[in-house]
Structure 1
Amino acid sequence: MQASAAGSAGERRQPGDKPRVVAHRGASDTHAEHTLAAYTTAFGLGVDGIECDVRLTADHHLVCVHDRRANRTSNGKGVISTLELARLEELDWASWKVLDDGTAPEGADRDPERGRILTLRKLLAALVDQRQDLLTLIETKHPTRYGGLVERQLVTVLREFGLTTGDLSQLPHVRVMSFSLLALMRMRGLAPQVPLVYLVEMGAPRMSFDGSLPTGIDIVGLDVRIVRRTPSIVRAHQRRGHQVYVWTVNEPEDVERCVELDVDVMITDRPRDVMALLD
C-alpha cells in the first residue's frame, strides 16, 4: 500500500466537487452518540468519514466520550478521567437516546453492543474492517488532568493499527483535531505525518479572520455559526491553501452555504439527510 502525498492534509478536492460528509460522533441523530451502532450505521450510509472525541480513563484507556462527565450519555455519574474502564463498561451508554417520535432507535433491543462504552481501539478495528479510505477525525479533549498523556496514548494506539505513517489505501485516513494548540503541537512532535486540524469556535479570542493558522497546520475546523456570520473566513483560509472543515452542519441552509463556499468537509449529526441534500 502506498502513502499519499507524504501524509499531508492531501486528498485535495477539485473545484466544484461536493464537500465530504463526516458523521459527527457517528450517525448521532438516529443512534446514541459514540456507540458502535452509531458508527456502523454511518458506514452503511456510505459516509466519507467519521468523527469521535476521546478521553482517558483513570487506568489510561482512550474511550469515545464527548463530555467530561458520564452523566448525560450514560446511566452513571462521575468524571471520566477518575473512573476505570471496567467501571465505565458497567454503565449503559445508549438507553438515554430517544428519537423525535419518542421511540428507541430501530433494532435497539436486538443489539448486545448497543449500551457498551466504545474504546478507541474497538472503533479503529471497526474502521480497519471497512477496508476503505475513510476520513477519521479524532478530537482530543482538553483541559484534562492527564495533559500530554492523552496525545501519547493516542499515538500508541494509532501505531498499533499502522496509522501514523501517512494515508494508506484501504485504511482510515486519520486527522487529529483539538481546540488546544499545545495538544496539536504535541501531536506534531510525536507523529509528524498525521495531519492536524485546529478547531475554532464562536467567540474564540484567538480567531484570526485573515486565514492564518499556526505553523505546521493547514486544516481549520470552523464552528458553523462562524461561517453563518462571516462566510468570508472560508475564502480567507482557501486563499492560503488551507482545507476547511465545518461543524456541526445539520440544517439545509447550512448545507447549501457550505456547498456554495466550496468547503472540504461537513461534519454532521444527520449524515443521511445531508447526503440526500447533496444528491
Structure 2
Amino acid sequence: MPHFLRHLPWLILVTATANADTEALEQQYTDLESFQVIAHRGASGNAPESTLPALELAHRSGADYLELDIQLSADGHLVAFHDRELQRTSNGEGRINDFDLETLQQLDTGSWFNAAYPDKANEGFVGLPILSLEEVFKRFGHDARYYLETKAPDQNPGLEAALVDMLERFEMIADGRVIVQSFSRESLLALRDLRADLPLVQLLWLPADDMPLDLEALGDITDYALGVGVNFRADEEIVLTENFIETAQTHGLKVHVYTVNEQEDMQTLIDWRADGLFTDYPERLLELTE
C-alpha cells in the first residue's frame, strides 16, 4: 500500500469534520439573518434571573438564545451571575470573585425574587444555587444557543481564556451554538485572538443626553464583531433611533437591543427592523414574531 494511502481515512475524517464545523457556523450566521429572541438571564421576568427555572422557561418558550453573564469564582470556575457583588440577588455579601464555587453554591439566589415579586412567588425558587456554566451546558447542551457576556473583565482576569477553553470543551463554537458579548473592546479582542471564529458582539450604552451619537465609530467595530448590543432607553427616555439601527446595519453590523419588556416597545423596534431583542419576557416577544 502506498504510504500516503495509509493516512487517507484520517484525512477524510479531518476534512469531513472541518466541513461540518464550517457548515454549523455558516448556519448560525444564516439564522442570524432572521429576527432573534434573546432571553435576558433566561425568562427572568417570571423566575429568578440566571437560575435553572428561568433558563428552562426561556428554553421551553422557544427563545433563540439564552443570555447569561459569566464571571469567575475565586477557584477559577465560570459562573452565571450578573452583578459584581452578591447582595442584590442572593443572601450573600461581597464580591462574587472572593468566594470559591462550593461556597457560592450554598447561597440562596431565589428567595429575593419571591420577596420582590410576591405575585410570582414560587416555593421552588427558595434555595436556588448559582449555576456554573458547565452545569448550564450539561443541562441544555446543543439543544440551545447561548449569548454570553464577559462580565467585568477587569475584575475577572483570565476570564477570556477560561471561557474559550469551556466553549471548546463542549464544542459550542464549532457547532454554532454561542455568541459572546462585552462592553469591553479589549475583552472582545482577547477572545478574537484566542479563537478567531468565535462570533462577537460589542455592547454599547447610549446615554440620556443631547450629545450627538458617533455613528462613524460603528465602522471600527466591524473589524472584530458581527454586531452591537445597544440600549433602547436610558433614565426612562428612549435614546435609540431608527437612524442608528439603519446606520449600523449599513456598516454590516447586526443590532440587538436590550432590555425590552413591553410589547409596544417591542413592536416599535420590530418596525425599525432591529435584528433582535433582549427581553425578560421572551413569551411576549414571541407572540409578536411567530
Quick check: 1:195 aligned with 2:199?
yes
Distance between the aligned counterparts of 1:138 and 1:274, measured in 2? 20
What is the CA-CA distance between 1:5 and the residue it aligns to? 5.6
In the TM superposition, what are the counterparts of 1:124-135 in structure 2 within 5 Å?
Answer: 124-128=137-141, 131-132=142-143, 134-135=144-145
Contact kept? 2:153, 2:159, Cα under 8 Å: no
Quick check: 1:83 aligned with 2:96?
no
Does the residue aligned with 1:87 lie in a helix, a strand or coil? helix
Tell me what 1:150 maps to: 159
Tell me what 2:286 maps to: 275
Contact kept? 2:206, 2:240, Cα under 8 Å: no
Q: Tell me the amino acid that sits aligned with residue 233 of structure 2.
A: R
In the TM superposition, what are the counterparts of 1:257-276 in structure 2 within 5 Å?
Answer: 257-276=268-287
Tell me what 1:220 maps to: 228
What is the CA-CA distance between 1:98 and the residue it aligns to? 2.7
Q: Which structure features the higher share of helix residues?
A: 2
* Counterparts in 2 of 1:207 and 1:50: CA distance versus 1, 3 Å: farther
Does the residue aligned with 1:78 lie in a helix, a strand or coil? coil
Distance between the aligned counterparts of 2:58 and 2:180, measured in 1? 20
Q: Tell me the amino acid that sits aligned with residue 159 of structure 1.
A: E
Contact kept? 2:22, 2:174, Cα under 8 Å: no
What is the CA-CA distance between 1:46 and the residue it aligns to? 1.3
What does the per-residue CA deviation read over 1:194-213, in whole Å, with 9 as the maximum and x for residues that have no partner?
10000001239996323424
Tell me what 2:134 maps to: 121
Identity of aligned residues (%): 31
What is the CA-CA distance between 1:242 and the residue it aligns to? 1.4
Tell me what 1:102 maps to: 118
Q: Tell me the amino acid that sits aligned with residue 136 of structure 1.
A: Y
Tell me what 1:165 maps to: 174
Contact kept? 1:7, 1:195, Cα under 8 Å: no
* Counterparts in 2 of 1:118 and 1:158: CA distance versus 1, 3 Å: same
Tell me what 1:245 maps to: 256
What does the per-residue CA deviation read over 1:24-58, in whole Å, with 9 as the maximum and x for residues that have no partner?
00010010000011101111111111100011111
Does the residue aligned with 1:72 lie in a helix, a strand or coil? coil
Tell me what 2:6 maps to: none
Tell me what 2:29 maps to: 10
* Counterparts in 2 of 1:73 and 1:228: CA distance versus 1, 3 Å: same
What is the CA-CA distance between 1:162 and the residue it aligns to? 1.0
Distance between the aligned counterparts of 1:12 and 1:178, measured in 2? 21
Distance between the aligned counterparts of 1:246 and 1:4, measured in 2? 28
Distance between the aligned counterparts of 1:198 and 1:271, measured in 2? 22
Contact kept? 1:181, 1:198, Cα under 8 Å: yes
Distance between the aligned counterparts of 2:91 and 2:140, measured in 1? 27
Question: Which structure has the bigger radius of gyration?
Answer: 2
What does the per-residue CA deviation read over 1:148-167, in whole Å, with 9 as the maximum and x for residues that have no partner?
x0001101111110123352
Distance between the aligned counterparts of 1:213 and 1:105, measured in 2? 45
* Counterparts in 2 of 1:244 and 1:135: CA distance versus 1, 3 Å: farther
What is the CA-CA distance between 1:260 and the residue it aligns to? 0.9
What is the CA-CA distance between 1:231 and the residue it aligns to? 2.1
Contact kept? 1:245, 1:263, Cα under 8 Å: yes
Q: Tell me the amino acid that sits aligned with residue 140 of structure 1.
A: T
Q: How many residues align?
A: 264
Tell me what 1:43 maps to: 59
Distance between the aligned counterparts of 2:80 and 2:43, measured in 1? 14
Flag the structure with more relative contact order, 1 or 2, with Cα contacts below 8 A and sequence separation at least 6. Answer: 1
* Counterparts in 2 of 1:207 and 1:175: CA distance versus 1, 3 Å: farther
Distance between the aligned counterparts of 2:154 and 2:56, measured in 1? 29
What is the CA-CA distance between 1:216 and the residue it aligns to? 2.0
Tell me what 1:175 maps to: 179
Distance between the aligned counterparts of 1:177 and 1:101, measured in 2? 29
Q: Tell me the amino acid that sits aligned with residue 230 of structure 1.
A: T
Distance between the aligned counterparts of 1:230 and 1:4, measured in 2? 35
> What are structure 1's unaligned runs of at least 5 residues?
168-172
Distance between the aligned counterparts of 1:207 and 1:104, measured in 2? 39
Q: Tell me the amino acid that sits aligned with residue 269 of structure 2.
A: C
